[in-house]
Amino acid sequence: MTRVLVSGGTGFVGRFIVEHLIAHGYKVAVGGRTPPASGFFSQPVAYVPLRLDPDADQIAAFDDIYYFVHAAFEHVEGKYRGGEGADPEGFRHANLDGSVRLFDEARAAGVRRCVFLSSRAVYGKTQVPVCDETSPAMPDTLYGTVKLASEDALKAMTGHGFATTSLRVTGVYGPAGAGRKHKWSSLFADYLAGKAVPPRAGTEVHGDDVAQAVKLVLEAETAKISGKVFNVSDVLTDNREILSILQKATGCSHPLPPAAETAVFKAMSTDKLRALGWMPGGPERLAATIRELAADATADVNDCSSP
């Protein structure tokens, strides 16, 4: 069994990656500041103490590790863009310098492949209707700047015996796991309570489809993935579409928000990843997941009636 270390494996996205790899026969170790709670994952996983600290010697964490998936990121809770809060230097020090240190230690320890979870935020103000991997990267946030710099540092380490890949992931949705709230929990609660919901558009991808992308680049021919970046995005949607599915699932009669201007939103091309065999769930998976998440919101439906 191939052993994979997933940093940030107990995070929202990391949990999907761990579960997907376990389900496909991988032996997974989770790296983080604290071990996962008992029963957090569907099967037991090994725990490896790991933190984003460029001054720490953590090369021992990579003993007997074949693949490293770096999904850890330090930020203000609930925020990525703006996740530096009042400490931009600490944010950069941990997430850029700390990541580079882990990449370097993974390579020195003999890890064969390293996958970095980057972000669509690296494109920033790029003035193109559709972003593909050749589009100019013009991050307009510290978050995007740090992600891009981490990509560049990892690519510079690529060499014989150390294949590297960065996945530029868009907004991730899906169930959050026991005891946690999913990304739309506040949106659902506001709508069901009859509060005004503003129009908003965004690109989304299910967490398990992100995990599928990770598995693909771990298993693809080295020449097809090493030193490369791949977009990971699925559907362009907005609050009105999301809540219309919730409305049908719950029978709520509150009015929907206005449609957002999706025509001007930059979509992401995923042709490059699809060429490796990636097949995300599309609008069908989005709708099915919202209906699944709606079951957790039905406690509020008793108050869901038109004013």
For the stretch 14-66, pLDDT in tens is: 999 999 999 999 999 999 999 999 899 999 999 999 999 999 999 999 999 99
User: CA neighbours within 13 Å on the CB side: how many for 144?
Assistant: 15
Q: Each residue of 266-306: pLDDT tens digit?
A: 889 999 999 999 999 999 999 999 999 998 776 544 556 54
Question: Has residue 175 got a pLDDT over 90?
Answer: yes
- State residue 78's pLDDT score: 56
pTM: 0.94
Q: 284-289 long-range CB contacts below 8 Å, 24 or more apart? A: 285/206, 285/209, 285/234, 286/173, 286/204, 286/206, 286/234, 286/235, 286/237, 286/242, 286/245, 287/245, 289/173, 289/174, 289/175, 289/206
- For residues 131 and 129, the model is more confident at 131
- State residue 297's pLDDT score: 72
